[in-house]
Amino acid sequence: SESVSFSPPNSTRNASLGPCKASYSKRLRQHDQSHNDSVLAEFGGEKGRLLLFSLHEAKSLFENRAGDIIFSFLCRTTKRHLTFYDGTNSCLPGVCHVSMAEPFCAKTREVLLDVAKKLGIKCHSKGTVITVEGPRFSSRAESLMFRSCGADVINMTTVPEVILAKEAGICYASIAMATDYDCWKEHEETVSVDRVLKTLKENANKATSLLLTAIPQIGSMEWSETHQNLKKYSLTLPRVITFEP
């Protein structure tokens, strides 16, 4: 069976905590352990398969970037646990050299784009998100630098969630709903929490319609090959390697 899980904005953390203190790995474990015995998704068996949708509020670094279906990411975080395999007692043993060339599930992204088009929801087929540490907003100089780096939107939560999902073999897709233009655009209203919350409410109905329509379509599709490819990325290398003389 196909299990679909939804990650709403800021669900990784208590609102009283900054994004760098969020327990991303714990939440990914909870998603996966709801139908698996370990953090690694055991695709193809009786335990089912897992797809994870993540909806992130973001700030647009270009005009008209609302509703980006994320294609890639840039990481500007410094304090987060980026792997399930970091050598501590609470994590998994070994080292995971996971490929992030294509961090988001292309097949799931295609479904979201198709559904958005049918529903008349404006979106962009590709987008690159840059995740910053937060909780502060960007300076204008930073915002302009992020634009020059090729990022389309900026947020504080996609990383490390996307990396951990790839390690766990989870089919992961992300939708960035832009709330404002950050601060790069001159003569634009300054970013404020009230303005962000107002736009988030406006985006909620679109996101709900998109997901409620996409999920049944996903359930009717064949995903075995996709999950087998994802499973390969969950392999680990031992920390201690011995060589025969």
Give me the catalytic one of 32, 68, 152, 182.
182
CA distance 40 to 132: 27
Give me the catalytic one of 32, 68, 152, 180.
180
Tell me the residue ranges of DSSP E strands in 68-162. Answer: 68-69, 72-76, 128-132, 153-155
The SS3 assignment for 155 reads strand
Task: Find out whether 66 and 20 touch, Cβ atoms under 8 Å.
Answer: no
Residue 180 annotated as catalytic? yes
Distances (CA, A) of 25 to 58, 119, 153: 21, 34, 23
Q: Which parts of 183-238 fold into alpha helices (H)?
A: 193-219, 224-232
Block residue for tokens 């609302």 = 66
What is the bridge-based pairing of β-strands 49-60 and 2-7?
parallel
Of 124, 123, 144, 142, the residue nearest 133 (C-alpha):
142
CA distance 5 to 170: 10
Task: Indicate which residues carry an active-site annotation.
Answer: 180, 182
